[in-house]
Amino acid sequence: MGKTHCTAIVLAAGQGKRMGTKVHKQYLLLGDRPVLYYSLKAFEDSPLIDEVFLITGAGEEEYCRESIVNPYHFTKVSRIMHGGAERYHSVWNGLQELEEHGYVFIHDGARPFVDRGIIERAYEEVQEHKACVVGMPVKDTIKMADEHGNVETTPDRSKLWMVQTPQVFENHLVRGAYSMLMRESYINVTDDAMVVEQMLRYPIRLVYGSYENIKITTPEDLEMAEVFLKRRSEKL
């Protein structure tokens, strides 16, 4: 049995308001390269990924092509398209361009430390379960708050995971879920797994990611990413 066709949708349409910079977070420099470079590089180098759809902010398509895709020779980037007002609009734009059969890895471009091991583990799980998300068990105790800011309950920490990306699905499964979502009048979803959970009631498999697979959202995240990058370069 041959390898199933895999597409990575890399989301780089966010504005990064919490970063407090004029430059969008995915274009900030990490080391001497843009944050977005690292996730594109991981998918470019993975033998499991056949093509990459890069979703940018409106009007940023040419910038990404001329400043990132072409200079770093990301030959698997087959499409560069603009996103929408919300994350789910951007994902939907990409999903509509997928082949009918295959798997899709949906990944935040602001998570630079996705690596070959994470991609391989997700691929193994999606073949069996059709839907899986990368994440890690939480380290801290989590409190649920009521509307007054008081502790309402303390969930069992052993059952709690921090969800990351990539989130990986069979193409027609996730596209069907998103198609249903786009017909809704009120949409409140924060990740792709939530769409599949709510629209289809389909079980999602959890896959170990990495505690380094952080999303760069604040200046502190960027500082932490520099530490991780330095550690990785020292291992090479």
pLDDT in tens, 120-145: 999 999 999 999 999 999 999 999 99
Distance CA 150, CA 95 (A): 41
Sign, CA dihedral 25-132-84-42, equals: positive
Q: Which of 178, 170, 173 is nearest to 195 (CA)?
A: 178
pLDDT in tens, 43-77: 999 999 999 999 999 999 999 999 999 999 999 99
Distance CA 168, CA 4 (A): 13
Q: Model's pTM, two decimal places?
A: 0.94
